[in-house]
Amino acid sequence: MDSRWDDLRIFLCVAREGGLTAAARVLRIDPATVGRHIARLEGAMDRALFVKSPQGYGLTSAGAELLPRVEAMEAELRAGLAGITDPGQGLSGAIRLGAPDGCANFLLPEICERLAARFPDLDIQILALPRSVNLSRREADLAITVSPPTAGRLLVQKIADYRLHLAASNAYLDKHPGITTPNDLHGHRFVGYIPDMIFDRELDYLSDLGVTRVPLASSSAAVQLQMLAAGGGVGVVHDFAMSAAPDLRFVLPDQIAFTRAFHLVRHADDRASDRLGRFANALVSEMRQALGKLDAAENTRLS
């Protein structure tokens, strides 16, 4: 039974990664071993599960039929192990959370510290990427996104709105013409995302302002913040990141503001996992509390 599950587990990884070599890297075994497991499974089923092409390993009709069954087995196993390792009201083991790097760098650290204090046996792993996290390939257990995904077998929950404003360093603003209206932005140097690497339309803030050139650009919100702090120009900053760069100040905060939302995404197969459900509830509660405090401070400032 153990060897049979081993074959199925490796089949699942090859299906998700699209090839023997990629699956071998994830599984930390050599590609030849992966190939032997697949051959043994195909021999036991007397059916080909993959077809090789220049694009990698694609599922045959038999493989496509097997995939959801093995995913269901994996989900049941994960839920069962969660019940064994975490029978009480606490949380233990490792949970990996994917998040955009701005959220991961400037919002989640404080929240994770509180969750770690609340659940001392829990290992929280933050996967910070300048792209969407692929839950179908099990890159993470949960993911925070800006735009809610519309495809895939996923559970999506809105967490809360958050706000962003233009900002620049005092040093930059002292050396350049004053900015009192949106028209004054013309001629100023902008910091932002690399235009052709914006993975979510909701992150394309500068296009909304009619900016067509970004002289200082990065795929990372954290790098953009450092560029702004170094006096690089004017750019869009998450309100929750401003405390990380004390020399920055908002530019035209009463005239230009952006509102976006965070969503928590889980794989549908994990619906029955009480462990992930309780972690999700705790995370959402902490994020709403943190973002709510920022909103209250912003409303006080504007009133």
> Going from the N-terminus, what domains does the chain have, and what CATH number goes with each?
2-85 (1.10.10.10), 93-153+261-286 (3.40.190.10), 161-260 (3.40.190.10)
Q: Mean pLDDT in the chain?
A: 87
Separation of alpha carbons 223 and 191, rounded Å:
10
Banded model confidence at residue 1, pLDDT cuts 50, 70, 90: very low
Q: Has residue 81 got a pLDDT over 70?
A: no
Report, as an integer, the average pLDDT of 194-212: 89
List C-alpha distances in Å: 228 to 92, 109, 129, 234.
Answer: 39, 21, 21, 7
**What element of type H or E holds 238?**
strand 234-238
- Whole-number pLDDT of residue 150: 80
Report, as an integer, the average pLDDT of 22-26: 86
- 275: alpha, beta or left? (left if phi > 0; alpha if psi -120 to 50): alpha
Report, as an integer, the average pLDDT of 213-230: 96
Choice between 71 and 24, residue whose per-residue pLDDT is larger: 24
Q: Has residue 133 got a pLDDT over 90?
A: no
Least confident residue range of 72-86, 260-274, 286-300: 72-86
pLDDT in tens, 222-277: 999 999 999 999 999 999 999 999 999 999 999 999 999 999 998 887 777 888 88
Separation of alpha carbons 49 and 57, rounded Å:
9
Choice between 237 and 201, residue whose per-residue pLDDT is larger: 237
- Whole-number pLDDT of residue 181: 95
Banded model confidence at residue 98, pLDDT cuts 50, 70, 90: very high
Banded model confidence at residue 303, pLDDT cuts 50, 70, 90: very low
Contacts of 101 (CB under 8 A, 6+ apart): 128, 129, 130, 220, 221, 222
Instruction: Count the Cβ atoms, other than its own, within 10 Å of residue 132.
Output: 17
Report, as an integer, the average pLDDT of 1-9: 75
Banded model confidence at residue 5, pLDDT cuts 50, 70, 90: confident
Banded model confidence at residue 91, pLDDT cuts 50, 70, 90: confident
Choice between 165 and 274, residue whose per-residue pLDDT is larger: 165
Q: Has residue 297 got a pLDDT over 70?
A: no
- Whole-number pLDDT of residue 88: 45
Least confident residue range of 3-7, 109-113, 193-197, 237-241: 3-7
Q: Has residue 2 got a pLDDT over 70?
A: no
CB-based contact 123:93 (threshold 8 Å): yes
Banded model confidence at residue 80, pLDDT cuts 50, 70, 90: low
Choice between 103 and 296, residue whose per-residue pLDDT is larger: 103
